[in-house]
Amino acid sequence: EVQLVESGGSVVRPGGSLRLSCVASGFIFDDYGMTWVRQAPGKGLEWVSTINWNGGSTSYADSVKGRFTISRDNAKKSLYLQMNSLRAEDTALYHCATFRIVGPTWRYYFDNWGQGTLVTVSS
Amino acid sequence: QSALTQPASVSGSPGQSITISCTGTSSDVGVYNHVSWYQSHPGNAPKLLIYEATNRPSGVSDRFSGSKSGNTASLTISGLQAEDEAHYYCCSYAGRTTWVFGGGTKVTVL
C-alpha cells in the first residue's frame, strides 16, 4: 500500500524557518517525481514545488521562489521542503504527492497524496 | 500562475448528473492535455479522479468522466450519490514543470 506521511509542521513566527518532511513507503521511490501542494484555511489547493526523481530538476511557484527549497533523499525515501522567510500567507496544510516518471516521460498528474502537515505562521 | 476558474459550488439531487467547469488560458488548459481532477473530503488526502483530461485511474467509479474543449475542461458526475459530496479541484500543467490548480468547487447533494 502506498503511503506518504508528512511531518514537521508547527507554529512559527513571521520571518522564521521550518523544514517539512514526507516519508514514502509502498512503492519504488526513485520511479517518481515528488511535489508539494498546500491548502490555506478555507482556500483551494495551490501547487508549491516539484522535484524530479534524482533531485536534478526542481521548480517553484512564484509565491515561494527564493524562500523555499525542495530536496529529496532516495536512500531514505524522503522528500523535504525547507521554508525560510515565512509569511502569514504561507499558513496552510502542506501535502506531498507523487507523479510517475517513465524514462524521459513525466506523467503530469499527482496519483498519491499524503494527509498533510499544518504550518501556521503567526506572531 | 493564475488559478484556473471553477464555480464555487454546484448542487444536485441523488441520481442526477452535474458538471463542473474549469477555465484556464492558452498557456495551460488550452495548450496541454495534462488536465487532472481531484476529489477532497475534509480530513482526507485528495484523490485523483481524472488524468490527461479524460482518463480514469483504475478503481475510480465510471460515474466520473472528464472532457476538454479549448481553454475549458469539465468534470461530470453521473448518478450523483451522497458520498460524492466533497470539494473538487482541477489542475493543469502550465509548462516549465509548473502546475496550476483551480479554486475548487464544493459539490452538495441535495
Q: Give the phi and the psi of residue A71 in degrees, each rounded to 5.
A: -155, 170
The DSSP element (H or E) to which A87 belongs, if any, is none
Kindly list the residues from chain B whose CB atom is less than 8 angstroms away from the CB atom of residue A62. 1
pLDDT tens digit at each of 123 positions of chain A: 999 999 999 999 999 999 999 999 999 999 999 999 999 999 999 999 999 999 999 999 999 999 999 999 999 999 999 999 999 999 999 999 999 888 888 899 999 999 999 999 999
Are B36 and A109 a contacting pair at CB < 8 A?
A: yes
The rounded distance, in Å, linking the Cα atoms of B56 and A7 is 30
| Band of residue B99 on the pLDDT scale cut at 50, 70, 90 | very high
In this structure, are residues B75 and B20 in contact, taking their beta carbons and an 8 Å threshold? Answer: yes
Chain A CA closest to residue B87: A44
Condensed to tens digits (0 to 9), the pLDDT of residues B59-93 reads 999 999 999 999 999 999 999 999 999 999 999 99
Q: How many CA atoms lie within 13 A of B83 on its CB side?
A: 4
Which residues of A sit within 8 Å Cβ distance of B?
4, 35, 37, 43-47, 50, 52, 57, 59, 61-63, 95, 97, 106-111, 113-116
The rounded distance, in Å, linking the Cα atoms of A122 and B24 is 33
Report residue A8 as a C-alpha cell: 514537521
Are A44 and B100 a contacting pair at CB < 8 A?
A: no
Distances in whole angstroms, Cα of residue A76 to Cα of each of A68, A79, A93: 21, 9, 23
| Band of residue B34 on the pLDDT scale cut at 50, 70, 90 | very high
B74 touches chain A (CB under 8 A): no
Q: Which residue carries 459539490 as its cell?
A: B107
Mean pLDDT to the nearest integer, B12-40: 96
pLDDT at res. B25: 95
Q: Which residue carries 488536465 as its cell?
A: B35
Are B91 and A35 a contacting pair at CB < 8 A?
A: no
B45 touches chain A (CB under 8 A): yes
Are A108 and B32 a contacting pair at CB < 8 A?
A: yes
Report residue B34 as a C-alpha cell: 495534462
Chain B nearest C-alpha distance from A9 (Å): 16
Chain B nearest C-alpha distance from A59 (Å): 6
| Band of residue B30 on the pLDDT scale cut at 50, 70, 90 | very high
The CB density around residue B62, as the number of other CB atoms within 10 Å, is 8
Q: Which residues contact B89 (CB under 8 A, 6 or more apart)?
A: A44, A45, B6, B37, B38, B40, B46, B101, B102, B104, B105
